Structure 1
Amino acid sequence: MVVRPERLQKGDQVGIIAPAGPIIHMEKLRAAIPFFEELGLQPVFGKHVQETNGYLAGTDQQRLEDLHEMFANPDIKAIFCARGGYGTGRIASDIDYELIKKHPKIFWGYSDITYLHTAIRQRTNLVTFHGPMLTSDIAKEDFDQLSASRFSQLFQAESFTYTEEIAPLGVISPGEATGELVGGNLSLLVSTLGTSFEMNTAGKLLLLEDIGEEPYKVDGMLNQLKIAGKLENVAGVVLGDFANAESTLDASFTLQEVFQNYFQSLNRPVLAGFKIGHCFPHIAVPLGVSARLCSTDKTLTIEAGVC
């Protein structure tokens, strides 16, 4: 059964953690705090959010401790990840999922956080949120109003329909389908294969996005999903933003050609161009809720993520 976290109220305390890469410049993290204060929220930093351990924000135990403490603390009503980078897969096996079941709450992030979205959803049925993070997005000068507006979904149970009013969409395979919206960063989803956190895609609407991956690398990852059987039974595919994907090879397929190769004959709806991922605007969406993808009117309609 889908578990929706409770909506936020003005005055709520929200936790800020760094479960992946380190916060190199704390001023960037602090620059994002006024955004939350304008929403009427009170940000609370995790105990180890300023730690640096190589390319990680502290040791595995420190990052795990902050995650657990934020879920356990009844005064914290939501948890926002400061940034992605690398490292969440290292702590997934040690997370106390029973703790999360007992204290379900809003959990928000993207990119490397995809590993936690997948692990938490498949172990607890909790709806989580794929959306902009503090140092990666909110603190930047070009963080836009449309991206900011999607935080409203945390304060009220509202469905959302993505249309071409946001950005043009391309139909790679026509059709209409309804299924649970899952996924996130392609490279992170591939990294779950062969583990106890392997992503279940059967009957799902699969969201894929990535950054800095050339067409041949995207080809390789999609091929791995294909031969692992992860594309056979999907209800449909939602292709988000693939930033910085230009090829450095002398001869190459375009990213569009790669997508067509894998999805054109899928006989399920596949639409590309969603501004979801490492981009602005960055449209935040709940994962684990029912959604409808339609190629006729080029829409993605998503149920509310909170109760």
Structure 2
Amino acid sequence: MIKPERLKKGDTVAVIAPASPPSPNFLRKGISYLEEELGLKVKVGQHVYDHYGYLAGEDESRLIDLENAFLDKEVKGIFCACGGYGTARLASKINYSIISQNPKIFWGYSDITFLHTAISNSTGLVTFHGPMLSSDIGKEDCHPLSKDLFQQLFEPKEMLYTEEYSPLEVLVEGKASGRITGGNLSLITSSIGTPFEINTKSNILLIEDINEEPRSVDRMLNQLLQAGKLTDAAGIVIGDFHQCHSKRDKSLALEEVMDHYIQKAGKPAMKGFKIGHCSPQVSIPLGVNAEINTNEKVLMIDSGVE
């Protein structure tokens, strides 16, 4: 586990778009937040505003921006503009020695989950699951808490997620500890069978998703169960499943699907965490030690920076 160095006011950070094209207007507002509210200097990747169908430029262009951001000695942190789709296309092309030799803050979620997993497996670098500049921070209705939690990048501080953030529901009782890993369920599932397959062994698994019908969530959780990913985990943290309701008359409810698989896994588990495609969005480091305690309804997560 390698923790990146903390940020200081006046530091330079990079903005890249490794997945889909960001909204230019929202992205500019997100960048203004980094500059005006956090006191950072911003370098925008050369290809951030490129378009190649549903991708923010061709693979090679997005790869260049990613690797250049890690190579740039001035840059202390890297923020992703938005998600969508595209990071899995880059994973096998990345020179991971560049990242391991230049560890720094890397921040994003949703489609960025594939990069979180790939970077963790290949380098051991702690990365951050948090709101993105175009799709979240740059919007007028962005919740103040979503912005406030960027402060974890400036000062090492343990996070204690309690019901002060949101109501939590225990699915399987118990206490477990391990490194926290995961993110978007669709991307986690798509990593299985690749060189970047998620490792849940003795870890705390985080899952969240958006716009997936219960039967799709069922399919993905079934795959994780059969692949041993749910039973290998020490504990399970269920984040926000935004708009994951059925569009058909006959369906199981999302709650029924979730309960079925979490009970089969039999590992300490809670749901209701405001982590994922939600507002407010609680950002957390991935790859650090964490502990779930259902008796106290608490998730403790180590700091992600040094």
Q: Could you say which residue in structure 1 is the equivalent of 2:30? A: 32
Q: Distance in 1 between matches of 2:274 and 2:42?
A: 27
Q: Which amino acid aligns with 1:32?
A: G
Q: Which amino acid aligns with 1:240?
A: G
Check whether the contact 1:289–1:302 (CA below 8 A) recurs between aligned residues. yes
| Correspondence 1:102 to 2:96 | no
Tell me the TM-score normalised to structure 1 length: 0.98
How far is 1:290 from its partner?
A: 0.3
Q: Could you say which residue in structure 2 is the equivalent of 1:148? A: 147
How far is 1:167 from its partner?
A: 0.7
SS at match of 2:231: coil
Q: Distance in 1 between matches of 2:57 and 2:140?
A: 27
SS at match of 2:119: helix
> CA deviation digits over 1:208-240, x for unaligned, max 9?
000000111100000011111111211000000
Q: Which amino acid aligns with 1:193?
A: I
Question: How many residue pairs were aligned?
Answer: 305
Tell me the TM-score normalised to structure 2 length: 0.98
> CA deviation digits over 1:178-237, x for unaligned, max 9?
010000000000001111111111101000000000111100000011111111211000
> CA deviation digits over 1:62-95, x for unaligned, max 9?
0000000000000000000000000000010010
Q: Which amino acid aligns with 1:31?
A: K
Q: Which amino acid aligns with 1:34?
A: S
Question: 5+ residue gaps in structure 1?
Answer: none
How far is 1:265 from its partner?
A: 4.2
Q: Could you say which residue in structure 2 is the equivalent of 1:43? A: 42
Q: Could you say which residue in structure 2 is the equivalent of 1:173? A: 172
Check whether the contact 1:205–1:291 (CA below 8 A) recurs between aligned residues. yes
| Correspondence 1:83 to 2:82 | yes
Q: Which runs of 4+ in 1 moved over 6 A?
A: none
Note the 1:1-307 alignment, pairs <5 A.
2-23=1-22, 25-37=23-35, 38-307=37-306
Check whether the contact 1:162–1:301 (CA below 8 A) recurs between aligned residues. yes
CA root-mean-square deviation = 0.8
SS at match of 1:30: helix
Question: Alignment identity in percent?
Answer: 54
Q: Which amino acid aligns with 1:50?
A: Y
SS at match of 1:142: coil
Q: Distance in 2 between matches of 1:207 and 1:225?
A: 13
Question: 5+ residue gaps in structure 2?
Answer: none
> CA deviation digits over 1:154-192, x for unaligned, max 9?
001100100101110111100000010000000000001
Q: Distance in 1 between matches of 2:64 and 2:148?
A: 31
Q: Distance in 1 between matches of 2:193 and 2:114?
A: 14
Check whether the contact 1:175–1:267 (CA below 8 A) recurs between aligned residues. no
How far is 1:264 from its partner?
A: 2.0
How far is 1:266 from its partner?
A: 3.0
Q: Distance in 1 between matches of 2:274 and 2:58?
A: 33
Which piece of structure 1 moves more, 263-272 or 107-116? Answer: 263-272
Q: Distance in 1 between matches of 2:59 and 2:264?
A: 43
Q: Distance in 2 between matches of 1:142 and 1:239?
A: 24
Check whether the contact 2:12–2:75 (CA below 8 A) recurs between aligned residues. yes
Check whether the contact 2:231–2:266 (CA below 8 A) recurs between aligned residues. no
